[in-house]
């Protein structure tokens, strides 16, 4: 098993943190191997941000992803930039409110992470909602591992908020999965 996951959006959305909790869930709590790489530089503030996580049940040599198995896009710009670079059997997870045009010939899951986060009271947790959805859609890591990873990463006073965000994300992922399955059946 080797999964190459690219999470992208714009600066300030906590894209790298999303990658970090994902990699940590896999490496520290699920007994898998994970590597996170990131783009870095003046573009780290605002503009496009991205992080890439490779997860495997074996050791990982080359640290970069070659082509994405999973693309998580949280901005239109990022989606356009990376939609060409997805494996044939790869999938796409988008926040449909931010990535309005998300036409791509890949299985696509729509997770309104920012809206869900806002409903929970703080849109800063959209990234955590998104990794929750990613977890239940891909099952690349277990929910327990992801929960531990998130709670070990965020400051104590934000633990509760993030727990709720992650649980909402798990549910949103399930919903997106069933919607996608229905769409597939109806041939859309």
Partner 1 sequence: MDTNLVRQVLGQKVQFIHGDMACVYGALLAGCNFFAGYPITPATEVAEGMSELLPKLGGRYIQMEDEIASMGAIIGASWTGAKAMTSTSGPGFSLMQENIGYAVMSEAPCVIVNVQRSGPSTGQPTLPAQGDMMQARWGTHGDHEIIMLYPYSVQEALEMTITAFNLAEKYRTPVLLFIDAELGHMQEKVVIPEDDEFEVCYRQTVTVSKEEYQAFRPGNNAHPDRLVPEFAPFGSGYRTYVTGLTHNEAGLPRTNSPEIHDRMIRRLCEKILANRADMTFFKESYADDCDIALVAYGITARACEDAVAEARERGIKVGMLRLITIWPFPEDLIQQWARKVRLMVVPEMNLGQMIHPIREAVAGQCRVVPLNKIGGEVHTPGEILEGMVRAIEREREREPAAA
Cβ within 8 Å of residue 16, ≥6 positions away: 36, 38, 49, 51
User: Which H or E element spans position 36?
Assistant: strand 33-38
Nearest approach, Cβ of residue 100 and partner 1 (Å): 31
Of 108 and 162, which CB lies nearer to partner 1 in the complex structure?
A: 162
Instruction: State which of residues 5, 7, 35, 176 lies at the interface with partner 1 (CB under 8 A).
Output: 35
Q: How far is CA 168 from CA 103, 114, 124, 180, 188, in A?
A: 25, 11, 14, 18, 26
- Interface of this chain with partner 1, residues 132 to 161, rule: CB under 8 A: 149, 152
Nearest approach, Cβ of residue 53 and partner 1 (Å): 9
Does 61 interact with partner 1 (rule: CB under 8 A)? Answer: yes
Nearest approach, Cβ of residue 149 and partner 1 (Å): 8
Does 34 interact with partner 1 (rule: CB under 8 A)? Answer: yes
8-state DSSP, 96: T
Instruction: Kindly give the interhelix angle for 126-138 and 113-120, rounded to the nearest 10 degrees.
Output: 120
Of 42 and 187, which CB lies nearer to partner 1 in the complex structure?
A: 42
Nearest approach, Cβ of residue 164 and partner 1 (Å): 23
Radius of gyration of the chain from Cα atoms? 15
Residues 60, 62, 63: CA angle, nearest 5 degrees: 80
Does 28 interact with partner 1 (rule: CB under 8 A)? Answer: yes
Does 181 interact with partner 1 (rule: CB under 8 A)? Answer: no
Collapsing DSSP states into helix, strand and coil, what is residue 145? helix
Total binding residues for partner 1 by CB under 8 A? 23
Which residues of this chain interact with partner 1, rule CB under 8 A?
A: 19-20, 23-24, 27-28, 33-38, 40-41, 59-64, 66, 149, 152
């Amino acid at each position: 098993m080797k999964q190459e996951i690219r999470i992208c959006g714009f600066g300030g959305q906590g894209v790298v943190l999303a990658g970090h909790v994902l990699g940590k869930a896999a490496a520290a709590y699920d007994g898998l191997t994970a590597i996170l790489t990131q783009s870095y530089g003046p573009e780290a503030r605002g503009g496009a941000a991205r992080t890439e996580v490779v997860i495997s049940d074996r050791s990982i040599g080359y640290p970069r992803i070659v082509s994405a198995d999973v693309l998580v896009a949280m901005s239109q710009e990022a989606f356009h930039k990376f939609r060409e670079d997805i494996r044939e059997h790869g999938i796409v997870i988008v926040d449909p409110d931010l990535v309005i045009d998300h036409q791509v010939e890949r299985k696509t899951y729509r997770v309104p992470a920012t809206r869900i986060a806002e409903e929970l009271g703080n849109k800063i947790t959209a990234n955590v909602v998104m990794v929750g959805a990613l977890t239940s859609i891909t099952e690349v890591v277990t929910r327990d591992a992801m929960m531990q990873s998130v709670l070990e990463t965020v400051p104590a006073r934000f633990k509760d908020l993030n727990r709720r965000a992650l649980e909402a994300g798990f549910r949103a992922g399930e919903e997106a999965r069933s919607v996608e399955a229905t769409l597939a059946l109806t041939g859309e």
